[in-house]
Chains A and B, each alone.
Chain A
Amino acid sequence: MAQPIVEVSNLRKTYGDKVAVDGVSFTVQPGEIFGILGPNGAGKTTTVETLAGLRHADGGSVTVLGHDTQRDPAAVKDLLGVQLQEATLHDKITVGEVLQLFAGFYSRPADPDELLALLDLTEHTDKQFGRLSGGQKQRLSIALALVGNPEIAILDELTTGLDPQARRSTWELVERVRATGVTILLVTHFMDEAERLCDRLVVIDAGRVVAEGTPTGLIDGLDDERTVVVRFGADDAGRARERLDRLAAEHPDVARVEELDGTPGEIAVSGTPRVLFAVVPALAEADLVPEDVRTVTRTLEDVFLAVTGRTYAPQEPEPELTTEGVRS
């Protein structure tokens, strides 16, 4: 592997009594999309803003492109693009003006027009910030993180508050940006986003790294239980449940049978990877024809459950009340 471009080691940050980041370590390789995933309040923003030199660490070390950003934050400003989770602009500044303005701060800026095209903002060049939609604001925010032609871009919760359509197009953008050679540090509380975009990631919970690896590696690393879900109409549901319960008692590949809450008639059968082969002949023999059969794909949510013992139920972050004032 190449020399890491970001190295965080044993990072600690407290706010009064509250330990926000409690010994986080990871490294990021050049050219990758590296994810920092975790539920609300896990310490993701604190971690990346500390590594960018925007907050003071209470312990540990952070090195970005060979610079200690705690000792010398100015050293990386020209090389690091940051999209902050909570930051807006003057309502009356236009898209074009703000990009030109920010371009002027850097020694080797990107071409603002190219960036506008890359982020599908060209037609909004003369629009004022206050009149942009949520998705357009988010894209402008990414553009501002990239306008300095950075080696590394930190993107913090860039799809929060976007509709599914806008989220998907933002994901494509992130991939387009990575294709230009920028290393991306992606902060998110969305499991699907991390799974879709990240080459590698850390899962952070309550200020600690609870899992680290590639999305598929983490998922494959789970136990090898598989689940088949079959759905029956009201007439057959009772009989099917009985048959499957019997199967669980008899068959070595079938471990459990559970009725799922929510959808009536849906029965989940779990067991070894061969569980499907056990379920299908049993149902065929009893002439129980399911209305629907699906195998459950496992996701990072199962990884989270496995490492924390909690289900992952992220709420949308509350609008910040008055905490900004005390951020340091």
Chain B
Amino acid sequence: MTTTTAAPARRRSSGWHGFRRLLTTETKVWMRDFASPFFGIVFPTIILLGVGYFIPGMRETITDAPPDSVWFGLTPIATFLPTVLAMAVGTASLTVMPVTIATYREKGVLRRLSTTPMRPQGIVASHLIINMVTTLVGIALALVVAELAFGVPVPSRLGVVLLAMALGLSAMFALGMLVAAVAPRPSSANAIAMSLYFPMLLLAGLWTPGPIMPDLLRDIGQFTPLGAAAQALTTGWFESGFPMLQMVVMVVWTVVLLPLAVRLFRWS
């Protein structure tokens, strides 16, 4: 088109011009898919409530532990909370985000974006942010419900808990990003995600939380991102000492998986 003098000059874009609108539009559109926000936010809390109310004895004080043990006087549902939080960390990152990105790839949305001055990375970043926020909302919801419904005590060391949560998030989102990077189709993204998600939940103590986890599971679990997160959270919440091994494990997963995801990411 002919350039009129009034028109602003063409500008070489940084590749992020319009990102704010991209993020808000993606959020709006994503919320129209009722299932994904709902699942990401509510699922951990539903598990918490289900276990708390439907499994007998979960709300009774533990009296069969030695009186000097950290578990003495707690309720089993309280020892289950770190597992629920780890699950919240793993749900949106692994089961929602990779499928969304694989769908965009399959539909050609990423390619279409690469014809514009916006980088296709913009849409990936949007979904990283959206799912991070969903995860944090899900965690907050689980904490509120845990407090209101079951009177779970506050963490003994908040700093350890927050660090464990942050590292768990980074490790799990790095893993989710790797799945998103390589899965050729939404169905394969879903299949890969699910085959990682359930074993990880097992190792994070979904079926055998905190004190009742068999040693073998605990030993294996501490080397997985979600197992390490659950164990570090448990330590920070109820026990003493610093869960150094688990923290390092989560850092290593992040440092290995994230660059790998960036390198292997397929845009079309």
Contacts and interface: CB of A to CB of B under 8 A. Distances in A.
Contact of A74 (B8, B9, B12, B107): B12
Contact of B268 (A52, A88, A324): A324
Given A74-B13, A101-B18, A54 B111 contact: yes
A182 B111 contact: no
A78 B10 contact: yes
A97 B10 contact: no
A283 interface: no
A319 interface: no
A104 B17 contact: yes
Q: What DSSP secondary structure best describes chain A's contact surface? A: loop
B8 A151 contact: no
B5 interface: no
Given A78-B13, A327-B268, A88 B109 contact: yes
Given A102-B116, A105-B18, A105-B117, A78 B1 contact: no
B13 A105 contact: yes
B266 A87 contact: no
A78 B33 CA distance: 32
B263 interface: no
A328 interface: yes
A89 B1 contact: no
A107 B108 contact: no
Interface residues of A, number: 41
Interface string A78-91: 11111010111110
A87 B13 contact: no
Nearest to B114: A54
B2 A84 contact: no
B114 to A, nearest CB: 6
8 contacts: A54-B111, A74-B15, A78-B10, A89-B112, A101-B21, A106-B18, A106-B117, A180-B1
Given A52-B115, A92-B29, A93-B29, 16 more contacts: A74-B15, A87-B107, A87-B108, A88-B108, A90-B104, A97-B25, A98-B25, A101-B21, A101-B25, A104-B22, A105-B17, A105-B18, A105-B116, A107-B9, A181-B1, A324-B106
